[in-house]
Amino acid sequence: MNIGKLLTKSARTFPENLAVASGSKELTYAEFNARANCLANGLNRLNVQQGDNVAVLMYNCPEMLESMFACFKAGCGVIPINFRLHPKEFTFIINHSEAKVVIISPEFNEAIIKCRDDLPQVSYIISVSGARNPFLDYETVLSAESDQFEDADIAPDDVAWLFYTSGTTGQPKGAMLTHRNLLGMTMNFYADMCPGFGPNDVALHAAPLSHGSGCYALPNIGKAAANVILEAKSFDPEQVLKTIEVYRATNMFAAPTMIKLLIDSPAVDRYDHSSLKALNYGGAPMLVEDLMQAMEKLGPCLVQLYGQAESPMTITYLSHDDHVLNGDPNQMKRLASAGIPRTDVEVKIVDSDDNELSTGEMGEIVTRSDLVMKGYWRDPEATAETLRNGWLHTGDMGYIDECGYLFLMDRSKDLIISGGENVYPREIEEVIVQHSAVREVAVIGVPDPVWGESIKAVVSLAPEREVTEQELIDFCTDHIARYKRPKSVDFVEELPKNNYGKIVKRELRAKYWEGKVSQVI
Protein backbone atom coordinates (compact mmCIF):
# COMPACT_ATOMS: atom_id res chain seq x y z
CA MET A 1 0.00 0.00 0.00
CA ASN A 2 1.12 3.55 -0.76
CA ILE A 3 1.96 4.91 2.70
CA GLY A 4 0.29 8.18 1.64
CA LYS A 5 -3.06 6.39 1.80
CA LEU A 6 -2.86 6.61 5.58
CA LEU A 7 -3.81 10.27 5.20
CA THR A 8 -6.34 9.63 2.43
CA LYS A 9 -8.22 7.08 4.53
CA SER A 10 -8.16 9.14 7.74
CA ALA A 11 -9.49 12.20 5.87
CA ARG A 12 -12.34 10.14 4.45
CA THR A 13 -13.43 8.64 7.78
CA PHE A 14 -12.54 11.46 10.20
CA PRO A 15 -12.66 14.64 8.06
CA GLU A 16 -13.37 16.99 10.97
CA ASN A 17 -10.75 15.60 13.36
CA LEU A 18 -7.91 17.96 14.21
CA ALA A 19 -4.98 16.82 12.10
CA VAL A 20 -2.31 19.46 12.67
CA ALA A 21 -1.95 22.29 15.18
CA SER A 22 0.99 24.67 15.26
CA GLY A 23 0.83 28.08 16.90
CA SER A 24 -2.45 29.64 15.82
CA LYS A 25 -2.76 27.41 12.75
CA GLU A 26 -5.06 24.39 12.82
CA LEU A 27 -6.04 22.00 10.03
CA THR A 28 -8.70 19.31 10.01
CA TYR A 29 -7.96 16.02 8.29
CA ALA A 30 -10.07 17.12 5.32
CA GLU A 31 -8.05 20.34 5.02
CA PHE A 32 -4.69 18.62 5.56
CA ASN A 33 -5.44 15.99 2.92
CA ALA A 34 -6.67 18.62 0.44
CA ARG A 35 -3.46 20.65 0.80
CA ALA A 36 -1.27 17.54 0.39
CA ASN A 37 -3.27 16.66 -2.74
CA CYS A 38 -2.78 20.16 -4.17
CA LEU A 39 0.96 19.93 -3.60
CA ALA A 40 1.12 16.45 -5.17
CA ASN A 41 -0.62 17.86 -8.26
CA GLY A 42 1.78 20.80 -8.21
CA LEU A 43 4.82 18.51 -8.13
CA ASN A 44 3.46 16.62 -11.13
CA ARG A 45 2.99 19.93 -12.97
CA LEU A 46 6.65 20.74 -12.21
CA ASN A 47 7.55 17.51 -14.02
CA VAL A 48 8.29 15.52 -10.86
CA GLN A 49 7.42 11.97 -11.82
CA GLN A 50 6.83 8.82 -9.82
CA GLY A 51 10.23 7.55 -8.68
CA ASP A 52 11.84 11.01 -8.56
CA ASN A 53 13.14 12.48 -5.30
CA VAL A 54 12.14 15.68 -3.50
CA ALA A 55 14.19 17.25 -0.69
CA VAL A 56 12.47 18.96 2.23
CA LEU A 57 14.56 21.40 4.27
CA MET A 58 12.40 22.97 6.97
CA TYR A 59 12.12 23.76 10.60
CA ASN A 60 9.20 21.91 12.18
CA CYS A 61 6.00 23.26 10.63
CA PRO A 62 2.71 21.97 9.15
CA GLU A 63 4.06 22.41 5.61
CA MET A 64 6.70 19.80 6.32
CA LEU A 65 4.11 17.10 6.96
CA GLU A 66 2.14 18.29 3.91
CA SER A 67 5.27 17.99 1.76
CA MET A 68 6.10 14.52 3.04
CA PHE A 69 2.62 13.17 2.36
CA ALA A 70 2.39 14.88 -1.02
CA CYS A 71 5.55 12.99 -2.02
CA PHE A 72 4.23 9.69 -0.66
CA LYS A 73 0.96 10.14 -2.54
CA ALA A 74 2.77 10.99 -5.78
CA GLY A 75 5.07 7.97 -5.48
CA CYS A 76 8.14 10.16 -5.01
CA GLY A 77 10.95 9.64 -2.55
CA VAL A 78 11.02 12.32 0.12
CA ILE A 79 14.31 13.43 1.70
CA PRO A 80 13.62 15.26 4.99
CA ILE A 81 16.88 17.05 5.84
CA ASN A 82 17.97 17.88 9.37
CA PHE A 83 17.56 21.62 9.76
CA ARG A 84 20.70 21.84 11.93
CA LEU A 85 23.02 20.84 9.11
CA HIS A 86 25.62 23.17 7.62
CA PRO A 87 24.90 24.38 4.03
CA LYS A 88 27.77 22.22 2.74
CA GLU A 89 26.15 19.19 4.37
CA PHE A 90 22.64 19.74 3.05
CA THR A 91 24.07 20.62 -0.39
CA PHE A 92 25.76 17.21 -0.42
CA ILE A 93 22.51 15.44 0.49
CA ILE A 94 20.45 17.30 -2.11
CA ASN A 95 22.97 16.50 -4.84
CA HIS A 96 23.63 12.93 -3.76
CA SER A 97 19.90 12.14 -3.65
CA GLU A 98 19.41 13.64 -7.12
CA ALA A 99 16.46 15.67 -5.83
CA LYS A 100 14.59 17.49 -8.62
CA VAL A 101 12.74 19.86 -6.29
CA VAL A 102 13.64 21.33 -2.89
CA ILE A 103 10.93 22.65 -0.56
CA ILE A 104 12.18 25.02 2.15
CA SER A 105 10.93 27.08 5.07
CA PRO A 106 11.86 30.81 5.12
CA GLU A 107 14.86 30.34 7.41
CA PHE A 108 16.76 28.71 4.53
CA ASN A 109 16.09 31.27 1.81
CA GLU A 110 19.46 32.99 2.08
CA ALA A 111 21.45 29.78 2.47
CA ILE A 112 19.84 28.23 -0.60
CA ILE A 113 20.41 31.38 -2.66
CA LYS A 114 24.12 31.20 -1.81
CA CYS A 115 24.45 27.55 -2.82
CA ARG A 116 21.99 27.60 -5.76
CA ASP A 117 24.79 27.31 -8.34
CA ASP A 118 26.00 24.16 -6.55
CA LEU A 119 22.65 22.41 -7.10
CA PRO A 120 22.67 21.71 -10.85
CA GLN A 121 20.12 18.87 -10.74
CA VAL A 122 17.48 20.89 -8.89
CA SER A 123 14.83 22.22 -11.29
CA TYR A 124 12.69 24.15 -8.80
CA ILE A 125 12.89 25.49 -5.26
CA ILE A 126 9.60 26.08 -3.46
CA SER A 127 9.68 28.40 -0.45
CA VAL A 128 6.98 28.74 2.19
CA SER A 129 7.89 32.43 2.55
CA GLY A 130 6.62 33.61 -0.84
CA ALA A 131 7.71 34.13 -4.45
CA ARG A 132 11.19 35.53 -4.85
CA ASN A 133 13.81 34.73 -7.42
CA PRO A 134 14.83 31.88 -7.57
CA PHE A 135 11.87 30.54 -5.55
CA LEU A 136 8.33 29.47 -6.29
CA ASP A 137 5.78 30.40 -3.66
CA TYR A 138 4.42 27.42 -1.74
CA GLU A 139 0.86 28.76 -1.40
CA THR A 140 0.76 29.82 -5.05
CA VAL A 141 1.74 26.30 -6.11
CA LEU A 142 -1.10 24.88 -4.00
CA SER A 143 -3.74 27.41 -5.04
CA ALA A 144 -3.27 26.64 -8.75
CA GLU A 145 -4.10 22.96 -8.31
CA SER A 146 -7.05 20.67 -7.67
CA ASP A 147 -7.51 19.28 -4.18
CA GLN A 148 -8.38 15.90 -5.67
CA PHE A 149 -5.56 13.43 -6.30
CA GLU A 150 -5.45 9.72 -6.97
CA ASP A 151 -2.64 8.24 -4.89
CA ALA A 152 0.02 6.63 -7.07
CA ASP A 153 -0.08 2.88 -7.53
CA ILE A 154 3.29 1.83 -6.16
CA ALA A 155 5.21 -1.41 -5.62
CA PRO A 156 5.82 -2.26 -1.96
CA ASP A 157 9.59 -1.94 -2.43
CA ASP A 158 9.46 1.48 -4.09
CA VAL A 159 11.43 4.09 -2.14
CA ALA A 160 9.26 6.34 0.02
CA TRP A 161 11.85 8.02 2.28
CA LEU A 162 15.59 8.52 1.83
CA PHE A 163 16.77 8.67 5.42
CA TYR A 164 20.29 10.13 5.54
CA THR A 165 22.48 8.97 8.38
CA SER A 166 24.18 11.51 10.61
CA GLY A 167 27.54 10.90 8.94
CA THR A 168 29.65 10.54 12.10
CA THR A 169 32.26 8.46 10.24
CA GLY A 170 32.29 10.22 6.88
CA GLN A 171 29.74 11.42 4.33
CA PRO A 172 26.17 10.48 5.23
CA LYS A 173 24.52 7.57 3.43
CA GLY A 174 20.92 7.53 2.24
CA ALA A 175 19.02 4.58 3.68
CA MET A 176 16.28 3.66 1.19
CA LEU A 177 13.11 3.12 3.20
CA THR A 178 10.30 1.64 1.16
CA HIS A 179 6.53 1.85 1.49
CA ARG A 180 6.71 -1.69 2.91
CA ASN A 181 9.25 -0.56 5.54
CA LEU A 182 7.17 2.42 6.64
CA LEU A 183 3.95 0.46 6.79
CA GLY A 184 5.66 -2.21 8.91
CA MET A 185 7.00 0.47 11.22
CA THR A 186 3.51 1.95 11.53
CA MET A 187 1.82 -1.35 12.34
CA ASN A 188 4.50 -2.14 14.91
CA PHE A 189 3.74 1.14 16.65
CA TYR A 190 0.15 0.04 17.14
CA ALA A 191 1.14 -3.46 18.23
CA ASP A 192 4.01 -2.71 20.61
CA MET A 193 4.63 0.95 21.36
CA CYS A 194 1.13 2.25 22.00
CA PRO A 195 -1.61 -0.41 22.10
CA GLY A 196 -5.11 1.06 21.99
CA PHE A 197 -3.95 4.14 20.10
CA GLY A 198 -6.78 5.86 18.20
CA PRO A 199 -8.41 9.02 16.79
CA ASN A 200 -8.76 10.68 20.18
CA ASP A 201 -5.03 10.65 20.84
CA VAL A 202 -2.74 13.67 20.56
CA ALA A 203 0.88 13.45 19.42
CA LEU A 204 3.34 16.18 20.35
CA HIS A 205 6.22 16.79 17.93
CA ALA A 206 9.02 18.49 19.84
CA ALA A 207 11.88 16.59 18.17
CA PRO A 208 12.80 17.19 14.49
CA LEU A 209 10.26 15.90 11.97
CA SER A 210 13.20 15.04 9.73
CA HIS A 211 14.03 12.17 12.08
CA GLY A 212 12.24 10.12 14.74
CA SER A 213 9.31 12.43 15.30
CA GLY A 214 8.58 12.43 11.56
CA CYS A 215 8.56 8.64 11.56
CA TYR A 216 5.99 8.67 14.34
CA ALA A 217 3.80 11.12 12.48
CA LEU A 218 2.85 8.20 10.20
CA PRO A 219 1.04 6.03 12.79
CA ASN A 220 -0.55 9.14 14.28
CA ILE A 221 -1.96 10.16 10.90
CA GLY A 222 -2.95 6.56 10.16
CA LYS A 223 -5.32 6.66 13.15
CA ALA A 224 -6.51 10.26 12.56
CA ALA A 225 -4.88 11.49 15.79
CA ALA A 226 -3.96 15.14 16.30
CA ASN A 227 -0.37 16.23 15.57
CA VAL A 228 0.76 19.23 17.62
CA ILE A 229 3.94 20.71 16.15
CA LEU A 230 6.27 22.93 18.15
CA GLU A 231 8.01 25.34 15.79
CA ALA A 232 10.79 26.14 18.27
CA LYS A 233 14.29 25.84 16.80
CA SER A 234 15.63 24.32 20.03
CA PHE A 235 14.19 22.12 22.75
CA ASP A 236 12.48 24.22 25.42
CA PRO A 237 11.43 22.00 28.36
CA GLU A 238 8.92 24.47 29.78
CA GLN A 239 7.26 25.02 26.40
CA VAL A 240 7.03 21.25 25.91
CA LEU A 241 5.49 20.67 29.33
CA LYS A 242 3.06 23.54 28.90
CA THR A 243 1.96 22.21 25.50
CA ILE A 244 1.40 18.73 26.95
CA GLU A 245 -0.92 20.27 29.52
CA VAL A 246 -2.81 22.53 27.08
CA TYR A 247 -3.43 19.86 24.40
CA ARG A 248 -3.57 16.86 26.78
CA ALA A 249 -0.90 15.19 24.65
CA THR A 250 -0.90 11.41 24.89
CA ASN A 251 2.28 10.44 23.05
CA MET A 252 5.60 11.94 22.05
CA PHE A 253 8.98 10.87 20.74
CA ALA A 254 12.11 12.16 22.49
CA ALA A 255 15.83 11.50 22.55
CA PRO A 256 17.25 10.64 26.01
CA THR A 257 18.91 14.06 26.19
CA MET A 258 15.48 15.68 25.81
CA ILE A 259 14.02 13.58 28.61
CA LYS A 260 16.91 14.60 30.84
CA LEU A 261 16.20 18.26 30.07
CA LEU A 262 12.54 17.70 30.98
CA ILE A 263 13.22 16.06 34.34
CA ASP A 264 15.94 18.58 35.25
CA SER A 265 13.59 21.50 34.57
CA PRO A 266 11.73 23.07 37.53
CA ALA A 267 8.75 23.30 35.18
CA VAL A 268 8.21 19.51 35.39
CA ASP A 269 6.46 20.06 38.73
CA ARG A 270 4.39 23.04 37.55
CA TYR A 271 2.53 21.49 34.62
CA ASP A 272 0.13 18.55 34.37
CA HIS A 273 1.68 15.86 32.18
CA SER A 274 -0.55 13.02 33.39
CA SER A 275 -2.17 12.71 29.95
CA LEU A 276 1.00 11.09 28.54
CA LYS A 277 0.43 7.43 27.73
CA ALA A 278 3.56 6.77 25.68
CA LEU A 279 6.71 8.85 25.91
CA ASN A 280 8.75 6.92 23.36
CA TYR A 281 12.47 7.46 23.78
CA GLY A 282 15.35 6.28 21.63
CA GLY A 283 18.18 7.33 19.37
CA ALA A 284 20.86 6.68 22.00
CA PRO A 285 21.24 4.52 25.11
CA MET A 286 19.70 5.96 28.27
CA LEU A 287 21.63 5.41 31.47
CA VAL A 288 19.68 3.61 34.19
CA GLU A 289 20.15 6.39 36.75
CA ASP A 290 18.61 8.92 34.37
CA LEU A 291 15.82 6.50 33.45
CA MET A 292 14.85 5.93 37.08
CA GLN A 293 14.67 9.67 37.68
CA ALA A 294 12.48 10.04 34.60
CA MET A 295 10.14 7.31 35.83
CA GLU A 296 9.79 9.06 39.18
CA LYS A 297 9.14 12.46 37.63
CA LEU A 298 6.99 11.55 34.62
CA GLY A 299 5.10 8.49 35.79
CA PRO A 300 4.21 5.24 33.96
CA CYS A 301 4.46 6.52 30.40
CA LEU A 302 7.95 5.59 29.23
CA VAL A 303 8.54 3.16 26.36
CA GLN A 304 12.05 2.59 24.98
CA LEU A 305 12.80 1.82 21.37
CA TYR A 306 15.99 0.69 19.70
CA GLY A 307 16.37 1.14 15.98
CA GLN A 308 18.41 2.80 13.27
CA ALA A 309 17.84 4.78 10.11
CA GLU A 310 18.36 1.46 8.34
CA SER A 311 15.52 -0.15 10.36
CA PRO A 312 13.49 2.86 11.41
CA MET A 313 12.60 3.05 15.06
CA THR A 314 11.92 -0.64 15.29
CA ILE A 315 14.32 -3.40 16.27
CA THR A 316 13.57 -3.93 19.97
CA TYR A 317 11.43 -2.19 22.58
CA LEU A 318 11.17 -2.01 26.36
CA SER A 319 7.47 -1.81 27.18
CA HIS A 320 5.52 0.08 29.81
CA ASP A 321 5.38 -3.08 31.92
CA ASP A 322 9.17 -3.35 32.03
CA HIS A 323 9.55 0.18 33.40
CA VAL A 324 9.33 -0.56 37.12
CA LEU A 325 11.09 1.07 40.05
CA ASN A 326 10.55 -1.58 42.70
CA GLY A 327 10.54 -4.88 40.88
CA ASP A 328 12.40 -8.09 41.53
CA PRO A 329 16.11 -8.25 40.62
CA ASN A 330 15.40 -9.51 37.09
CA GLN A 331 12.96 -6.69 36.43
CA MET A 332 15.39 -4.08 37.74
CA LYS A 333 18.17 -5.50 35.59
CA ARG A 334 15.98 -5.08 32.51
CA LEU A 335 15.99 -1.31 32.93
CA ALA A 336 19.51 -1.43 31.48
CA SER A 337 18.30 -3.38 28.44
CA ALA A 338 16.88 -2.30 25.09
CA GLY A 339 14.00 -4.72 25.56
CA ILE A 340 12.81 -7.56 23.37
CA PRO A 341 12.50 -7.84 19.58
CA ARG A 342 9.44 -6.19 18.09
CA THR A 343 6.54 -8.47 17.15
CA ASP A 344 7.67 -9.36 13.63
CA VAL A 345 11.40 -8.66 13.97
CA GLU A 346 14.26 -11.15 14.30
CA VAL A 347 17.41 -10.29 16.26
CA LYS A 348 20.54 -12.31 16.96
CA ILE A 349 24.13 -11.80 18.11
CA VAL A 350 27.00 -12.85 15.84
CA ASP A 351 30.78 -12.95 15.92
CA SER A 352 33.13 -11.41 13.35
CA ASP A 353 32.50 -14.37 11.01
CA ASP A 354 28.70 -14.00 11.30
CA ASN A 355 28.36 -17.13 13.43
CA GLU A 356 25.47 -16.90 15.89
CA LEU A 357 26.61 -16.66 19.51
CA SER A 358 25.07 -18.27 22.57
CA THR A 359 22.92 -16.63 25.22
CA GLY A 360 24.91 -14.04 27.16
CA GLU A 361 27.80 -13.87 24.69
CA MET A 362 28.84 -10.44 23.44
CA GLY A 363 28.90 -9.73 19.71
CA GLU A 364 27.41 -7.63 16.93
CA ILE A 365 23.65 -7.13 16.83
CA VAL A 366 22.04 -8.15 13.53
CA THR A 367 18.38 -8.06 12.53
CA ARG A 368 16.03 -8.93 9.70
CA SER A 369 12.39 -8.04 9.08
CA ASP A 370 10.17 -6.15 6.66
CA LEU A 371 11.43 -2.99 8.33
CA VAL A 372 15.03 -3.31 7.15
CA MET A 373 15.97 -0.83 4.42
CA LYS A 374 16.22 -1.75 0.76
CA GLY A 375 19.85 -0.59 0.77
CA TYR A 376 21.90 2.60 0.54
CA TRP A 377 21.16 4.99 -2.30
CA ARG A 378 23.79 4.75 -5.03
CA ASP A 379 26.16 2.78 -2.76
CA PRO A 380 26.16 -0.94 -3.65
CA GLU A 381 29.39 -1.65 -1.76
CA ALA A 382 28.11 -0.29 1.55
CA THR A 383 24.77 -2.03 0.94
CA ALA A 384 26.46 -5.40 0.40
CA GLU A 385 28.59 -4.98 3.52
CA THR A 386 25.72 -3.90 5.77
CA LEU A 387 23.12 -6.39 4.50
CA ARG A 388 25.36 -9.46 4.49
CA ASN A 389 23.59 -12.83 4.33
CA GLY A 390 20.19 -11.18 4.45
CA TRP A 391 20.72 -9.57 7.87
CA LEU A 392 21.22 -5.90 8.71
CA HIS A 393 24.54 -5.57 10.53
CA THR A 394 23.95 -2.71 12.96
CA GLY A 395 27.54 -2.08 14.06
CA ASP A 396 26.25 -2.15 17.65
CA MET A 397 27.59 -4.54 20.26
CA GLY A 398 25.44 -6.36 22.77
CA TYR A 399 24.14 -9.62 24.13
CA ILE A 400 20.79 -11.35 24.63
CA ASP A 401 19.91 -12.80 28.02
CA GLU A 402 18.06 -16.03 28.76
CA CYS A 403 14.67 -14.27 28.57
CA GLY A 404 15.36 -12.70 25.18
CA TYR A 405 16.18 -9.17 26.39
CA LEU A 406 18.78 -7.32 24.35
CA PHE A 407 21.49 -5.49 26.25
CA LEU A 408 23.05 -2.85 24.05
CA MET A 409 26.57 -2.01 25.12
CA ASP A 410 28.28 0.24 22.57
CA ARG A 411 28.99 0.85 18.94
CA SER A 412 31.70 -1.58 17.85
CA LYS A 413 34.01 1.36 17.19
CA ASP A 414 33.57 2.51 20.82
CA LEU A 415 34.95 -0.73 22.24
CA ILE A 416 38.12 -0.15 24.31
CA ILE A 417 40.81 -2.84 24.23
CA SER A 418 43.18 -2.31 27.14
CA GLY A 419 45.89 -4.86 27.83
CA GLY A 420 44.00 -7.43 25.76
CA GLU A 421 40.79 -6.95 27.77
CA ASN A 422 37.59 -5.80 26.06
CA VAL A 423 36.04 -2.91 27.96
CA TYR A 424 32.58 -1.59 27.12
CA PRO A 425 32.27 2.11 27.96
CA ARG A 426 28.59 1.93 28.85
CA GLU A 427 29.33 -0.31 31.86
CA ILE A 428 31.55 2.42 33.28
CA GLU A 429 29.22 5.26 32.31
CA GLU A 430 26.35 3.56 34.15
CA VAL A 431 28.44 3.70 37.34
CA ILE A 432 29.88 7.21 37.07
CA VAL A 433 26.53 8.85 36.33
CA GLN A 434 25.27 7.60 39.70
CA HIS A 435 27.58 10.11 41.44
CA SER A 436 25.49 13.05 42.57
CA ALA A 437 27.93 15.60 41.13
CA VAL A 438 27.86 14.16 37.62
CA ARG A 439 25.45 15.48 34.99
CA GLU A 440 26.74 13.64 31.90
CA VAL A 441 29.65 11.32 31.15
CA ALA A 442 31.30 9.72 28.14
CA VAL A 443 34.01 7.06 28.46
CA ILE A 444 36.59 6.66 25.69
CA GLY A 445 39.86 4.89 25.01
CA VAL A 446 43.01 7.01 24.74
CA PRO A 447 46.60 6.05 23.75
CA ASP A 448 48.63 4.20 26.35
CA PRO A 449 52.27 3.20 25.72
CA VAL A 450 51.95 0.02 27.80
CA TRP A 451 48.34 -1.12 27.48
CA GLY A 452 47.57 0.15 23.97
CA GLU A 453 44.55 2.03 25.26
CA SER A 454 43.66 3.34 28.67
CA ILE A 455 40.23 4.35 29.92
CA LYS A 456 39.33 8.03 30.20
CA ALA A 457 36.08 9.48 31.50
CA VAL A 458 34.99 12.89 30.21
CA VAL A 459 32.52 14.45 32.62
CA SER A 460 30.25 17.48 32.83
CA LEU A 461 29.15 18.38 36.35
CA ALA A 462 25.74 19.22 37.75
CA PRO A 463 25.24 22.92 38.61
CA GLU A 464 27.12 24.05 41.73
CA ARG A 465 28.58 20.58 42.34
CA GLU A 466 32.21 19.57 42.63
CA VAL A 467 34.14 16.32 42.57
CA THR A 468 37.78 15.50 41.96
CA GLU A 469 39.30 13.12 39.46
CA GLN A 470 40.45 10.74 42.17
CA GLU A 471 37.08 10.77 43.91
CA LEU A 472 35.37 9.61 40.71
CA ILE A 473 37.98 6.90 40.12
CA ASP A 474 37.55 5.71 43.70
CA PHE A 475 33.76 5.82 43.30
CA CYS A 476 34.05 3.18 40.58
CA THR A 477 35.94 0.78 42.85
CA ASP A 478 32.84 -0.52 44.61
CA HIS A 479 30.97 -1.20 41.39
CA ILE A 480 33.25 -2.55 38.67
CA ALA A 481 36.47 -4.50 38.25
CA ARG A 482 39.67 -2.56 38.78
CA TYR A 483 40.77 -2.96 35.17
CA LYS A 484 37.58 -1.18 34.07
CA ARG A 485 38.14 1.88 36.25
CA PRO A 486 39.08 5.09 34.41
CA LYS A 487 42.77 5.87 34.58
CA SER A 488 41.98 9.56 34.15
CA VAL A 489 39.06 12.00 34.17
CA ASP A 490 38.67 15.22 32.22
CA PHE A 491 36.03 17.81 33.11
CA VAL A 492 34.19 19.84 30.46
CA GLU A 493 31.30 22.30 30.42
CA GLU A 494 29.39 20.38 27.74
CA LEU A 495 29.92 17.09 25.95
CA PRO A 496 29.88 17.40 22.15
CA LYS A 497 26.64 16.23 20.53
CA ASN A 498 25.54 15.75 16.95
CA ASN A 499 22.43 17.17 15.33
CA TYR A 500 20.25 14.50 16.91
CA GLY A 501 21.48 15.03 20.45
CA LYS A 502 23.81 12.01 20.59
CA ILE A 503 27.18 12.40 22.29
CA VAL A 504 29.86 12.34 19.58
CA LYS A 505 32.69 10.29 21.00
CA ARG A 506 34.81 10.61 17.87
CA GLU A 507 35.21 14.33 18.66
CA LEU A 508 36.33 13.52 22.18
CA ARG A 509 38.78 10.88 20.95
CA ALA A 510 40.23 12.94 18.11
CA LYS A 511 42.45 15.24 20.16
CA TYR A 512 44.00 12.35 22.07
CA TRP A 513 44.68 10.24 18.98
CA GLU A 514 45.97 13.02 16.72
CA GLY A 515 49.13 11.80 15.00
CA LYS A 516 48.79 8.33 16.48
CA VAL A 517 47.49 5.03 15.12
CA SER A 518 44.08 4.34 16.62
CA GLN A 519 40.87 2.48 16.15
CA VAL A 520 38.37 3.97 13.69
CA ILE A 521 36.99 7.23 15.02
Range of the domain at 476: 424-513
- The CATH number of whichever domain residue 481 belongs to comes to 3.30.300.30
Instruction: Render pLDDT for 441-487 as a digit per residue (tens, 0 to 9).
Output: 999 999 887 777 899 999 999 999 999 999 999 999 888 878 889 99
Q: Domain end: 158, 179, 200, which one?
A: 179
Average pLDDT over residues 135-147: 96
Its pTM stands at 0.85
460 lies in the same domain as 315: no
Does the pLDDT of residue 520 top 50, yes or no? Answer: no
**Crossing angle (nearest 10°) for helices 62-74 and 5-13:** 110
- The CATH number of whichever domain residue 158 belongs to comes to 3.40.50.12780
Q: Domain end: 156, 179, 202, which one?
A: 179
> Is 222 part of a structural domain of the chain?
no
pLDDT of residue 521: 30
Instruction: Render pLDDT for 294-348 as a digit per residue (tens, 0 to 9).
Output: 999 999 999 999 998 999 988 999 999 999 998 888 889 999 999 999 999 999 9
Does the pLDDT of residue 274 top 70, yes or no? Answer: yes
131 lies in the same domain as 263: no
> Cα 251 vs. chain centroid, distance in angstroms?
16
Partnered with residue 317 across adjacent β-strands are 305, 340
Reported as a pLDDT band with limits 50, 70 and 90, residue 513 is: confident
> Is 157 part of a structural domain of the chain?
yes
> Is 248 part of a structural domain of the chain?
yes
Q: CB 86: neighbour CB atoms within 10 A?
A: 10
Q: Are 198 and 223 within 8 A, CB to CB?
A: yes
401 lies in the same domain as 450: no
Three-state DSSP class for 122? coil
384 lies in the same domain as 464: no
What is the C-alpha to C-alpha distance for residues 182 and 216, in angstroms, rounded to an integer?
A: 10
Does the pLDDT of residue 168 top 70, yes or no? Answer: no
pLDDT of residue 157: 98
Q: Give me the percent of the chain exceeding a pLDDT of 90.
A: 76
pLDDT of residue 448: 83
Q: Are 361 and 368 within 8 A, CB to CB?
A: no
173 lies in the same domain as 56: yes
Q: Domain end: 179, 197, 215, which one?
A: 179
371 lies in the same domain as 443: no
296 lies in the same domain as 257: yes
> Is 266 part of a structural domain of the chain?
yes
pLDDT of residue 423: 81
Buried b (16+ CB within 10 A) or exposed e, 355-384: eeeeeeeebbbbbbbbbbbbbbbebeeebe
Does the pLDDT of residue 517 top 50, yes or no? Answer: no
248 lies in the same domain as 390: yes
Reported as a pLDDT band with limits 50, 70 and 90, residue 516 is: low
459 lies in the same domain as 393: no
What is the C-alpha to C-alpha distance for residues 242 and 265, in angstroms, rounded to an integer?
A: 12
pLDDT of residue 414: 81
Burial of 462 (0-12, 13-18, 19+ CB in 10 A): middle
> Is 229 part of a structural domain of the chain?
no
Q: What share of the chain is helix, strand, coil (3-state, %, to 5)?
A: 35, 25, 40
Q: Are 432 and 476 within 8 A, CB to CB?
A: yes
Reported as a pLDDT band with limits 50, 70 and 90, residue 500 is: low
**C-alpha closest to that of 467 among 443, 435, 441:** 435
Q: What is the mean pLDDT of the chain?
A: 92
Does the pLDDT of residue 514 top 60, yes or no? Answer: yes
> Is 209 part of a structural domain of the chain?
no
What is the C-alpha to C-alpha distance for residues 472 and 468, in angstroms, rounded to an integer?
A: 6
What is the C-alpha to C-alpha distance for residues 267 and 441, in angstroms, rounded to an integer?
A: 24
Cα dihedral sign for 496, 502, 503, 509?
A: negative
Does the pLDDT of residue 518 top 60, yes or no? Answer: no
What is the C-alpha to C-alpha distance for residues 218 and 69, in angstroms, rounded to an integer?
A: 9
256 lies in the same domain as 136: no
Average pLDDT over residues 366-375: 98
pLDDT of residue 515: 65
Average pLDDT over residues 19-41: 97
pLDDT of residue 256: 84
pLDDT of residue 337: 94
Instruction: Render pLDDT for 342-369 as a digit per residue (tens, 0 to 9).
Output: 999 999 999 999 999 999 999 999 999 9
Average pLDDT over residues 184-194: 91
Does the pLDDT of residue 419 top 70, yes or no? Answer: no
> Is 299 part of a structural domain of the chain?
yes
pLDDT of residue 257: 80
Q: Hey, which bits of 374-437 come out as E strands?
A: 392-400, 406-411, 416-418, 421-423
78 lies in the same domain as 175: yes
324 lies in the same domain as 407: yes
What is the C-alpha to C-alpha distance for residues 249 and 277, in angstroms, rounded to an integer?
A: 8
Count of domains in the chain? Answer: 3
What is the C-alpha to C-alpha distance for residues 147 and 144, in angstroms, rounded to an integer?
A: 10
> Is 359 part of a structural domain of the chain?
yes
